[in-house]
């Protein structure tokens, strides 16, 4: 069983995915895959540097993710060009990871944290069997994003740039509300996991 965990920025997807992993699910983090495919020497790295130039590199030759992020954040065309490079490489990496896990344990529940699962232009069910949407109110999202070192104005801009949570929720087989305390979130995760196991 392959389960996609998704939701807007600051909703707490990683917290929820971590809870599933604690219950015994195997975990594939798309953000981690996206970082891996743009490491020096990888084809996606070379393509990103060709597309965006040396200004997106740190002195050690690795990608300056902050510089690249600010470059594409407010420019939809550049963001689309970056996604066209990175997304196919991430999907290839995901297929390898998934096959490896299923080879070890054909009955594994695999949690895939895919931030833009409902927005990548293909049916989520072509990638996963079930969709879990992690939801939180805008003020909670803004507070969490500010915790990453952004100003309130920057955090609100990042949250506003995403598809509203209510729209993402409509794509979910399950919705986990992550506004309250961790125990409330954990109880919801445990209930969803029981259903998945059944």
Given a contact cutoff of 8 angstroms between Cβ atoms, the answer to whether 190 and 198 are in contact is no
Distance CA 123, CA 5 (A): 14
What class is the 32-108 domain? alpha beta
The model carries a pTM of: 0.84
**Where in the sequence of the chain do the CATH 3.40.50.300 domains occur?**
1-25+109-198, 32-108
Q: Give domain 1-25+109-198's CATH number out of 3.40.50.300, 3.40.50.720, 3.90.25.10, 3.50.50.60.
A: 3.40.50.300
Q: Is the dihedral of CA 134, 139, 163, 30 positive or negative?
A: negative
Place 38 in a pLDDT band, splitting at 50, 70 and 90.
very high
Segment 113-130, tens digit of pLDDT: 988 787 767 778 878 999
| CA neighbor of 32 nearest in space, from 106, 111, 118, 103 | 111
Q: DSSP secondary-structure letter at 17?
A: H
Which pair of tokens denotes residue 187? Answer: 């109880």
């Amino acid at each position: 069983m392959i389960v996609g965990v998704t939701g807007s920025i600051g909703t707490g997807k990683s917290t929820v995915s971590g809870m599933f992993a604690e219950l015994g699910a195997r975990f594939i983090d798309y953000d981690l895959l996206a970082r891996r495919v743009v490491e020096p020497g990888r084809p996606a790295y070379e393509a990103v540097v060709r597309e965006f130039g040396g200004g997106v590199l740190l002195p050690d030759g690795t990608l300056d993710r902050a510089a690249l992020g600010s470059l594409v954040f407010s420019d939809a065309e550049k963001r689309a060009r970056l996604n066209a490079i990175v997304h196919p490489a991430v999907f290839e990496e995901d297929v390898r990871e998934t096959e490896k896990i299923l080879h070890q344990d054909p009955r594994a529940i695999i949690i895939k944290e895919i931030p833009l699962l409902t927005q990548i232009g293909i049916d989520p069910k072509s990638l996963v069997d079930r969709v879990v949407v992690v939801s939180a109110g805008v003020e909670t999202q803004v507070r969490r994003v500010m915790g990453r070192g952004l100003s309130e104005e920057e955090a609100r801009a990042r949250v506003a740039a995403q598809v509203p949570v209510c729209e993402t929720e409509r794509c979910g087989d399950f919705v986990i509300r992550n506004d309250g305390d961790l125990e409330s979130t954990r109880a919801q995760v445990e209930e969803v996991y029981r259903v998945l196991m059944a």
